[in-house]
């Protein structure tokens, strides 16, 4: 028997009073017409080190889905295991948007799609994404 637990969506944790701006920013990004527009927008908004952090997190997600061990990823990208563990949680959440988009990116570059998330020994899967819908 597969038991699915979900959390309520909480997209405001850690935004310290900037929740409306965060939601507005997400809307602006979603409204951009092209990848080039998104790239230009992010370069104008973020510092190089902020963009590097985003790019590394994206790269680690693809590595996880491709089956690369976490310690190998940590060495390759000079990242803490804590950041990799966060990505690993979403890589195992079947309905994760991050997982789905990273899998699509892997497919575009010819890497086989990842296997479905594994179910624990007890037969239960726990969805960790605050956006889990049931």
> Sorting pLDDT into bands at 50, 70 and 90, what band is 92?
confident
**Cβ-count burial 31-52 (b if 16+ within 10 Å, e if not):** eeeeeeeeeeeeeeeeeeeeee
Task: Spell out the domain ranges in the chain.
Answer: 45-110
**CA quadruple 58, 113, 129, 26: dihedral sign:** positive
Residue 112 pLDDT level (bands cut at 50, 70, 90): low
Beta strands in the chain (DSSP E): 4-5, 125-126
Q: pLDDT exceeding 70 applies to what percent of the chain?
A: 72
pLDDT at 89 over 80: yes
Give the pLDDT confidence of 23-41 residue by residue, as tens digits: 999 999 999 999 999 999 9
What pLDDT, on a 0 to 100 scale, did the predictor assign at position 43?
Answer: 95
């Amino acid at each position: 028997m597969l038991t699915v637990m979900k959390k309520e969506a909480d997209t405001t944790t850690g935004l310290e009073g900037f929740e409306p701006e965060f939601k507005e920013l997400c809307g602006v990004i979603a409204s951009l017409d092209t990848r080039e527009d998104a790239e230009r927008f992010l370069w104008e908004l973020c510092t190089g080190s902020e963009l590097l952090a985003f790019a590394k997190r994206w790269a680690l997600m693809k590595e996880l889905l491709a089956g690369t061990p976490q310690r190998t990823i940590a060495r390759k990208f000079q990242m803490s295991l804590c950041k990799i563990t966060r990505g690993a949680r979403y890589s195992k959440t079947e309905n994760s948007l991050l997982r789905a988009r990273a899998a699509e990116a892997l497919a575009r570059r010819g890497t086989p799609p990842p296997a479905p998330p594994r179910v624990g020994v007890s037969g239960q899967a726990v969805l960790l994404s605050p956006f889990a819908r049931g």
